[in-house]
Structure 1
Amino acid sequence: MFWGHYTRTCIAVLCVWASLVSIALLADRSGRSRDLPCCLFKGRWLGEGPPSVELVLAHYNQNVTWLDPLMAKLGERAKLTVYSKGPAPPPGAQILPNVGREAHTYLHHLHNRYDSLADVTIFLMASAGKTQDKQKKLVEIQDNWQQALSNGFFCSGLDDNAPEEGYTQDSWKGSTDTGWIQLDPASPRPYGLWFAEYAGGKLPTAWCPTATMAVHRRRVRLRPRSFYGVLLEQLSVGRDLEAAHFLERSWSAMFYQAEAMACAASPFRPRPLLGK
């Protein structure tokens, strides 16, 4: 009698486990549970046909002729969306107010396109080809963006130096600036307090300088649309904001931690975070 009960229990457990695996493997194909965490997909691309990819470009006054070979390499299914805050936007660009720098641009896209994101969105600044360091990151993202299909997120030039909890940024000189600019202070500050209030979870162990990155839509949707709306509102109050620098240090942690929180409740072992 004991062994019969034990056998039935084991069979029941195996059936539950098999059902969970089936849900994970069929989620994208069936149209249900499209936002399951990437750890449930075991690194596979399960969509119908090739994945969709969209390049989002944050533009001010830069020359963007370097985009043509990049788009050719991304393939014919790739879509280009240019958001411009400058005086002479490229043809077809969507015009945004000149606030919040690239952080505001990225948040605008995540918030307004939340329900219609491509499978993978690549985020770039239009200054990507301006310096040797940025050119290196550009090559890295165009060669490795597909990692976001299996890992959910890819950062070009990931910096393993953790942002300090007490970090502040009072002034800044960007590639489009003629001199140092005083930044409007974030609230709260320093960085550790801001991150705790707006992102939550553990402080980043690495960050993504210049925010050259690719993210899967499932990773974005592990946080509600309102999450990006709150940040967008904060980045809409001025042009030169300390909060934009705080957000640059938070992208990778925000997307990885969303995955970790979702996977913690699943019966599967989460994928390693930030290479650890």
Structure 2
Amino acid sequence: MTNRHVKAGNRVSTVLARQLGGQLLAFREAVGLNQSQAAMVLSAHTAKVAKMERGWVPFRDPDIVALCKLYGVEDEEVVEGLLGLAKLDRERRRTRGWWKDLDPGNLREYIAMEDVALKVRLWQLSVIPGLFQTADYIRAMTVPGISAEQIDQIEQLVDVRRRRQARLHGDAPLRVHAVIWEAALRQLVGGPEVMMRQLAHVRELAELPHIQIQVLPFRVGGYPAVGGPFNILSFAEEGAVDVVHMDGLKSTAWVEGLEESAAYTDLFGRLCAVTLSPHSSMQLIESIGKEMSE
């Protein structure tokens, strides 16, 4: 699925709103009602329901409650989950977070989502996850890909990563469960000294109660999720629908459907089943670091 963060006049279709609209659409279709019938209970035009289901407008709580009642959605936890998504979306639309100053595009959209997420599960193959990267690692990883005229962009990237990493600390830190392929830990980005400090930083983060890090070792051989890295962002407690973000060389993708996001959650679970335990993962990272010092 391609990135669909688009604008129409003053309206913006956001990932969270599309997520909420998609769930309401699924509920409506499950009971065999059309948009006109849904619009009647809201005392609105059919166009309003269409815009809601496509994520073009912010959601009002009374509208969500009325539609859930019409669709026979009686589970209070489900309704509260929808109301929570609507609240997050409204807050995102009116906030002036630091990421607003970034150039429009995939990075700004993802960071805005990450900033309101409660939890992120991530799978990374070739590099240390951005939330865990040290400044020296970022610089060493970035330098080969830019020209002399773009050198100032390195420090901008370092600052962006630093601000993102602030979510790992504070009163309500972002919960992170990361699975990292062993190759990312052995790649000498910046040389042995930079990597030794980077690996030490990863071990320090793993000591935090809200961060879980596991390593997929080479010896596993074949493994699930060979298609590429992805992040699963959660905006509510267990049982709520998540969204999945994947970044390619020249494109980004958001997976927002109920079945699609559930498939990635299942894939992440199967991936975790073949990784090392968190304790054994830290032992391997420490061992790799010692090898680099020799």
TM-score by length of 2: 0.24
TM-score by length of 1: 0.25
Instruction: Give the number of the structure whose residues are more often helix, by fraction.
Output: 2
Q: Higher relative contact order at CA 8 Å, sep ≥6: structure 1 or structure 2?
A: 1
